Amino acid sequence: MPRPFPDRYTHNHQAQNDGSVAFECSRDPNVWPWLRLNAVHPILVQTINFWASIDSGEFLGTFNPDTWTALTRVRWVCGAPDVGLPHHGIYQTVQDEDRARYKLAFFDQADQMVAELAGQGVTFRSRNFEGWRGDAKEKLKPSAQPILNYASAAAVGVRTSAESFLAPLRRANTVSTTGLITKENGLRPNHPYIGGSGDHVNSTHMCEVGRQFGQLLLERPFFHTGGEMEFHHYVELGSPFGVELVKHSTAENQYDLIVRQGGRDCTSIRTRYAPGD
């Protein structure tokens, strides 16, 4: 996707002998407010994934701001809950026709691992992407402004009610809820941490949906230790979506979710966690 903001999170890029790129990370929370979050918070982990991939791609000459791309799969592992904020990292990529695979590793100032990620994406080269996206959004556009009874800030582990994306859980034959992310509650400056193109619900939103569902499911604090997401179809801003628990293993501290919108399976989310204080 095109770069939504002019700022760059990573700097001092250096090409390595193995083809990877070493970089340093910004530590300025005035430019990057999500740096005020815990270093293993999913919003921070997915946001640094986005920015470091774009910045490193620009350094290598593989990122084209005029071409639309989409993340299709991402896996990640987080460091210890008390690890410091990202200080430096390494980016590696492999391009295969219209698909690209990459790996990222971030480390704090003491060289402790903050997060390791591996992702895969697709580039839209031969289709009318803008027209196709417009048709898809129009089909899901609600006839009236949707209203959702969001779960409380405390219930989903956020500071303000504006950051809640989900309604309280329904615990019946399945455990599920409804979510609604709009430009008003889901993007900066109204959301304190999450940015993006405003074209669709992005991977950072989806990872935060997974975390908020976990807060409602477990009803206690926990630390984010890793997970994976697979993106089957875009989730549109401004239209309600369903989130259903597929599996929960208390032995493995892991739960799987499916996000559906407009009758489609859109995103599969796996979240791994450790008990928190």
Same fold yes or no, 10-124 and 144-275: yes
What pTM value is reported for the model? 0.90
> Higher model confidence: residue 212 or residue 95?
212
When the pLDDT of each residue in the chain is averaged and rounded to a whole number, the result is 89
Task: Give the mean pLDDT of 106-120.
Answer: 97
Q: What is the pLDDT of residue 105?
A: 98
Token output for 117: 């990620």
| Tens-place pLDDT, residues 211-237 | 999 999 999 989 999 999 999 999 999
Residues 144-275: name the CATH superfamily: Hotdog Thioesterase (3.10.129.10)
Of 33-42, 93-102, 155-164, 206-215, the poorest mean pLDDT is in 93-102
Q: Is there a contact between 77 and 15 (Cβ–Cβ < 8 Å)?
A: no
pLDDT digits (tens, 9 = 90+) for 229-270: 999 999 999 999 999 999 999 999 999 999 999 999 999 999
**DSSP string computed for 104-130:** EEEE-TT--EEEEEEEEEEEE-SS-HH
Predicted local distance difference test score (pLDDT) of residue 94: 78
- Domain positions in the chain are 10-124, 144-275
According to CATH, the topology of domain 10-124 is Thiol Ester Dehydrase; Chain A (3.10.129)
Q: How confident is the model at residue 265, as a pLDDT?
A: 97
